[in-house]
Amino acid sequence: MSDFLAFLMAVAAFILYFAPTFVAAKRKHPNGTPIALLNIFLGWTFIGWLAALIWSASAIKTEAQTQPATESKSSNRYGELEKLASLKEKGHISEAEFNREKSKLLGS
């Protein structure tokens, strides 16, 4: 066997041996370091290498970003109109003030 062929086989073996580590790094797996350690220390056993490969290809769970529930503009306007009507009924604002504020709310 020539030296060049031996070198190519060594490079291919290196790439194959560390394939789980390369996959985890490429996918930016959050457990990349433990996968690499498993690959280094137990990769020489087929079961350790296979476990590292499966782990590196497993789904990456992302935390869902929850947005606080915001009221729609129409429901917010409806609430404001109810407040204005309540103030008018109690006599805190006049009919003219109520109509002016109502037109501001509905016009915007």
Of 49, 47, 57, 73, whose CA–CA distance to 24 is shortest? 57
77-97 pLDDT per residue, tens: 888 889 989 999 999 899 999
How far apart are alpha carbons 107 and 58 in whole angstroms? Answer: 54
Domain boundaries, the chain: 8-57, 73-107
Task: Kindly report the pTM of this predicted structure.
Answer: 0.55
Q: How far is CA 80 from CA 22, 84, 108, in A?
A: 58, 6, 13
CB 27 within 8 A of CB 60: yes
- CA–CA separation, 33 and 24 (whole Å): 9
Read off the pLDDT of residues 25-74 as tens digits, 9 standing for 90 and up: 999 999 999 999 999 999 999 999 999 999 999 988 877 666 665 556 66
